Chains A and B, each alone.
Chain A
Amino acid sequence: MALSLHKEGIAGGRLSPEQYAENFSDLHPPLDDHEALVEADRCYFCHDAPCMTACPTAIDIPLFIRQIATGNPLGSAKTIFDQNILGGMCARVCPTETLCEEACVRETAEGKPVQIGRLQRYATDVAMGRNKQFYTRAAPTGKRIAVVGAGPAGLACAHRLARYGHEVTILEARPKSGGLNEYGIAAYKSTDDFAQAEVDYVTAIGGITIENGKALGRDYRLSDLVEAYDAVFLGMGLAGVNALRAEGEDCDGVADAVDFIAELRQASDLASLPVGRRVVVIGGGMTAIDVAVQSKLLGAEEVTICYRRGKEQMNASEFEQELAAAKGVVIRHWLQPRRVVADGGKVSAIELEYTTLDGDRLIGTGETITLRADQVFKAIGQSFVPEPLNGASMTVELERGRIKVDAEGRTSMPKVWAGGDCVADAREDLTVSAVAAGRDAGESIHRALTSNGRA
């Protein structure tokens, strides 16, 4: 074992099967019944609760926690799903430390918020474990809606519309549904194939057909959808990855973090997934942390995140930075990539330049440092790829590179709504925000198709 652990270059099988299993088990293990009761009892049942205001889907948190405390986990799950049908995934992946738990009054009181995320997981696990369906569809309306993308935004929109009795077809480019829940979220946040189980749970309401392998712009055009359906919702996420703009970034061993994570998420045997001995990650957000931590967990000896600004500017939350540090990832600040050094076509090192602020402007100081690396991950942000949208003559207006929408999620094109990562709105790029956007767009579509809610 020791030999493969320190194998030079990019290699698989660095760890024993037990180590892989342990490293990729639940980040926050589920609460058992007693733990849930004790934790639920810590909630003060606040009036106009700050946690609820901080939740992008506005789940009635005090109510669902009280329902756990009184031994009614199913009622609790319904309270959650009423606002957020992907409450199970959100319970696992939400950066609660910057959302509900940051706002919790017990955070103010004692620096120890009620563990809202874990309680939410407890309740939703009970309901999903029993496959308890809370919603029945309203009488069929005869209206048909196309949803592009089976990510959190698309699923939330589809579920809302299905509840109202509409017929929904989800067209998804990838072979599996779930969007980044399936392909992007860190493996230790979504264990046991939860993403797929959740897709099944959400679509079990009926009235939702998912067609996989159907890409907009490749297999059909937006104009086709607008013609064939009563409404269209676009929940396509961000398909593009920003470039490093560093010399030599095309050589072997330089990879997109999201692609690597997608591969990891789909790997049936983690030992078969090769990872470098010395890994350098460029970026400062959630993706950078996720790829760094997972590289480390796959057995990389040295993992270094290089971020071009300071700790305070990092998009990754305090909690995530600490998580990375705890797993042995080194985070270095004020460094930007200049050149990827290759040896025989393969990356061997990366040259970085120190940065500093000149007023508001980030500039290189000219001083450089070279870090040995046999694998470099690019995690400097994703971008929206608009080409599939505007293949036909009609155009959907963009804003700051993403789809422009109004407060209800309407795009510039009649009959077309959009939400989630692919739009330019005030929401953060988070699973929970995508759910909120999809749900709200679903409501808006329903109002539009039924003259204010009346069929």
Chain B
Amino acid sequence: MIIKDKLKSSTVNEIIEQYPYTESFFEDQKLAVDDQEKTLEEIYAGLTVEEREDVVFDLDQFADSLSSHIKNMQEFLGENDSVVAKLSILAGNNKDGKKENYDKLDIHSGEIISIVGPTGSGKSRLLADIEWTAQGDTPTERQILINDEVPDKKWRFTGGKKLVAQLSQNMNFVMDLSVIEFLNLHAESRLIDNQAEVVERIFNEANRLAGEQFGREAQITSLSGGQSRALMIADTAILSSSPIILIDEIENAGIDREKALELLVGEEKIVLMATHDPILALMGDKRIIINNGGIKNIIDTTAEEKELMQELKVLDKVLTDLRNDLRYGKNLSRISEELAAVKNT
């Protein structure tokens, strides 16, 4: 590789100037660079045996690593080739080896697809097939296309950019950071230009989704369940590099689920949502019915079902209100009265 030899004879300053993201690389590789005006060759020549052991690589390997890093980052920053306008799932087989009951499902960015089926029916396998961009090489033998083409292998293996982002009930924040520190850390890893602006937007959106407001300086580990989920959703919608979002149920407590989905699809993502909740399922444009390891049916949400969803939301509101009344020591009234109260608001 030409670039490798050129790197060896460049100074650290020259390299960082041309590829600004290599600054964190030098840091993470723990190469103690006291004089950035020295070339890599000069730096290596000056290292003792022990120091060389500490940085692990010899000069050749170090230059290899550095050039791979530059290649990865160039790919990562080349957003254009990773726009997923259309995801296609071509039929494979169910657990009995019989062909699935459809031929090809096309999903476009901005669409919400619900996935329903009993536990163990094959929902996880479907999601895994998508994540792996399966090419007949998984137990179902399904094939995944992106923008009508066989996807680049990079979706399988790169650390920085995955096809699918996941949100599920049992996910927690584990870092000891404030909301703002956390968002900044994530934004830095994405190398975006308008960091402050984006971070502010995520913070505001998260508060719009959360039932109870939270502050910039709140520790992420001390947020309530609803607040955590709101922050995770807003962050994933706006800052995740993944074009497809996979949601495993959104609990009804402490978060506005409809706004959450609007935010996700508003960012031109594809949303796949495994759920048992009729309101959530009907928020989808389509629903995939999974049974015995295969797709049994694909149903378009009808206009009538969308109306049903509105009715279900009223019922849902009644139940939520009753729970709140209970919590605050009020007397509970009959369904008919509660319904009337909901209609009035």
Partners in one complex: no
* Residues of B participating in the A interface, judged by any CB pair closer than 8 Å: none
Q: Residues of A at under 8 Å CB distance from B?
A: none
